[in-house]
Each structure stands twice: as C-alpha cells, then as structure tokens.
C-alpha cells in the first residue's frame, strides 16, 4: 500500500479536453488494449506471456504507449487505440478508499500519457465499484473533463477484509451508475479478471492451468454478463451499451440453449423481460479480441449480426500483427468490403462516439 500512496503523490495531470481523432482514415480501431502503471505490474506477475514475449517484455509492453506500441500500430494499419488499465486493476482492491484514490490517479496518469497524441489514442476509465455513486461521479469526471470514451470494468469488484465479498453490477444499488452511463451515452467494456484465491482454490485446484484466458475468464465473466441480463438491467436501461470481448465470452455461441432453458426460470421469479439473445440486438456488442477464429466469426454474424461485432486485439496479451493480418488478409475472403469496413472501424466509431 505504501508504494501505491507514494505513487499518488507524483501525479501531474494534463487534461485532455478534445478528441481530435482523424476520422478520414480507413484503418483499424482497437479498444481492448491494456496499459498499466509501474505500481500495478504486480497484478500481472502470474500471467503467462503470449506470443513469445518474456515477462520483462510483457511488462514493458504494458507500460509503453508512444514507442513500440505506436510503431506496431503504424506498421499494422491501426489508426486508433483505446487504452485501459490492465486487469484486474481497481477491481483487485478490496479497500474502498484505496480503490477510489487509485482509480482517480490511474485515470489522471492515462489522460496525461495520451494527451499529446489524442489523434491516435483514447481511454476508458478505471473505476472503483465499491460505491456506485462515487463510480458514477468518477466516470462523469473522466468523460466530461478528461475526454474518456467510456469505462472498462474487470468483472466483479472484490471487497471485504478477506477479499471474499464479490460485488456484481446487476444489483439495484448499481442503477445510479448505469443511469450515469446512459446519461453520458458512453459504452462500458466488461473485461475478465483472474479469480480471488478462494474461488481459484475451490474451482481450479485440479487443473490450475484453466485459471485465466483458457477457461476461467469466460466462465466468470459470462456469469456476470448473464446476471446483468437476467436481473433486468437492460429492461431498466434500454439504451445501455455494454461491450464484451473475446467474441462474446462464449455467450453468443450458446444463445439457443440459454434462451430456451431460461424460459423455465420466469415463473420462478427471474426478472428479465426479454431473452438474452434479444439484448444482443439492442444493448450488447462483442469484439474479436484475442479470438481471431474465422468459423466462429461467421457463426456469430449469423447469430447476432455483423453490426454487433467490432474488431479489437487484446494487446499485449495478443499480437498486433496476428490480429491485423487476420482481418486484412483472411477476412476479405469472407466479408464484403462494406462489411469489412464496419468490422474494422465503422461500428466502433458509432459505439465509441468518435463521430461526435
């Protein structure tokens, strides 16, 4: 904690007021793209680096914005990248005052970091979700004062003295937060987080390698998203926009069974008015982050429509050239030029409000 508070004292804020994004390009937009501050590198200490990076390289890539990241964007046709604090970020802090102070400082540092190149970089806010009113106020500050494009939440907020109270944003006390999200008309990106130790010990002891992106991320986050659907959050906030990465955290691969089986829960008191699949027509979007799977993309275009799907990479947990080559070299065989442009950038421009 001492380290974290020392870091708070050294913040020098440069306010980002304008979004001078270059809307005349035809390149890619990517927005599940991780960045962090040195004080939070400890949170990624146990992650196994992807695409041959060493741990040191992964850490350097998370800290970097203007050097190798921008170079790779230029080499791979990425016009614009929205940065967000690497998981679990604030959701990994159980103490509310610590979480709130840290969120504010992370947002200020990110704003200052990208302030000299808002043509190429945007930001999603990190938020403490202990207190929904405070989260709403910090979201408002980052959007109206720092020019942020929305927020990225890393699954549930851990809380409590032993970290075992998990806060899910599908409960009525979060309505004040969702109200602010719709008032500001920004999207919220729902991103996975590694489980608290209690859950990892109970669920994954027999196969610890399933902790993380192979299984646990999607299992945990889809549970949260389906809670948001079935607890009626979208019924209360019909214009709320949530984005889910990794081609939908498996939800959009299983809509037939989800819709059909949940029907039985309605007489038992499940509040959801529509079907999970219906919310993919109105509220939910998915990105291709770290799931460059052509047959699955085709299936999802059939299931939810191309207009609900956007490109993203998940750098530095996935490789920029791999993501860019997939969309630029493989997908032209599958999609018309008009549809490809929607996937590459046009839907994202609408959803992120880059056209405003």
Residues 79-138 that bind ligand NAG (CB under 6 A): 92, 94, 116-117, 119, 131, 133-134, 137
**CB-neighbour burial class of residue 106 (10 A; exposed 0-12, middle 13-18, buried 19+):** buried
Q: Site for ligand NAG (CB under 6 A): which residue of 22, 71, 74, 171?
A: 22
Region of residue 116 (left: phi > 0; alpha: psi -120 to 50; beta: else): alpha
Pair type for strands 242-244 and 188-191: parallel
Give ∠ CA 79-76-28 in degrees, rounded to 5. Answer: 35
- 154 forms bridges with which residues in the sheet? 191
3-class secondary structure, 135: helix
Nearest to 66 by CA among 126, 15, 117, 123: 117
Site for ligand NAG contains 259 (CB under 6 A): yes
Active site residue 314: yes
In angstroms, the first-to-last Cα distance of the chain is 40
Q: Is 266 in the site for ligand NAG (CB under 6 A)?
A: no
DSSP per residue, 166-215 = EE-TTSGGGHHHHHHHHHHT--EEEE--PPPHHHHHHHHGGGGGGTTTTT
CB atoms within 10 A of CB 119: 14
Catalytic site residue from 79, 259, 314, 339: 314
Tell me how many residues contact ligand NAG (CB under 6 A).
23
Closest CB 139 distance from ligand NAG, rounded Å: 9
Q: Which is nearer to ligand NAG, 58 or 99 (CB)?
A: 99
Residue 66, interface with ligand NAG (CB under 6 A)? yes
Q: Which is nearer to ligand NAG, 255 or 351 (CB)?
A: 255
Q: Which is nearer to ligand NAG, 263 or 330 (CB)?
A: 263
Closer CB to ligand NAG, 52 or 269, in the complex: 269
Q: Give the nearest distance from C-beta 3 to ligand NAG in angstroms.
A: 12
Stretch that binds ligand NAG, among 221-229, 274-282, 290-298, 299-307 (CB under 6 A): 274-282
Give the residue numbers marked as catalytic: 314
Interaction site with ligand NAG (CB under 6 A):
22, 24-25, 66, 92, 94, 116-117, 119, 131, 133-134, 137, 140, 144, 162-163, 259-260, 263, 274-275, 278
């Amino acid at each position: 904690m001492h380290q974290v508070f020392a870091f708070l004292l050294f913040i020098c804020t440069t306010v980002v007021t304008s979004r001078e994004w270059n809307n005349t390009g035809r390149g890619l937009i990517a927005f599940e793209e991780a960045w962090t501050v040195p004080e939070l590198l400890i949170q990624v200490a146990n992650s196994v680096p992807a695409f041959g990076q060493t741990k040191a390289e992964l850490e350097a890539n998370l800290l970097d914005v203007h050097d190798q990241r921008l170079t790779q964007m230029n080499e791979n046709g990425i016009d614009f990248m929205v940065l967000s604090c690497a998981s679990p970020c604030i959701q990994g802090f159980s103490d509310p005052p610590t979480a709130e102070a840290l969120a504010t400082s992370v947002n200020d540092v990110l704003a200052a970091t990208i302030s000299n190149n808002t043509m190429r970089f945007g930001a999603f806010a990190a938020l403490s979700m202990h207190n929904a009113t405070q989260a709403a106020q910090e979201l408002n500050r980052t959007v109206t004062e720092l020019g942020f494009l929305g927020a990225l939440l890393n699954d549930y907020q851990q809380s409590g003295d032993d970290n075992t109270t998990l806060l899910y944003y599908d409960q009525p006390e979060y309505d004040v937060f969702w109200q602010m999200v719709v008032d500001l008309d920004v999207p919220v990106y729902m991103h996975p987080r590694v489980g608290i130790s209690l859950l990892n010990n109970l669920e994954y002891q027999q196969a610890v390698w399933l902790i993380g992106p192979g299984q646990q991320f999607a299992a945990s986050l889809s549970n949260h998203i389906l809670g948001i659907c079935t607890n009626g959050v979208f019924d209360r906030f019909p214009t709320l926009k949530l984005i889910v990465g990794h081609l939908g955290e498996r939800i959009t691969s299983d809509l037939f069974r989800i819709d059909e089986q949940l029907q039985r829960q309605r007489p038992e008191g499940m509040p959801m008015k529509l079907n999970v699949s219906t919310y993919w027509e109105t509220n939910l979007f998915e990105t291709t982050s770290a799931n460059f799977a052509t047959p699955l993309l085709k299936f999802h275009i059939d299931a939810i429509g191309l207009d609900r799907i956007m490109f993203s990479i998940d750098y530095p947990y996935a490789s920029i050239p791999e993501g860019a080559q997939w969309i630029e070299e493989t997908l032209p065989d599958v999609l018309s030029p008009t549809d490809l442009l929607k996937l590459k950038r046009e839907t994202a421009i609408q959803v992120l409000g880059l056209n405003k």
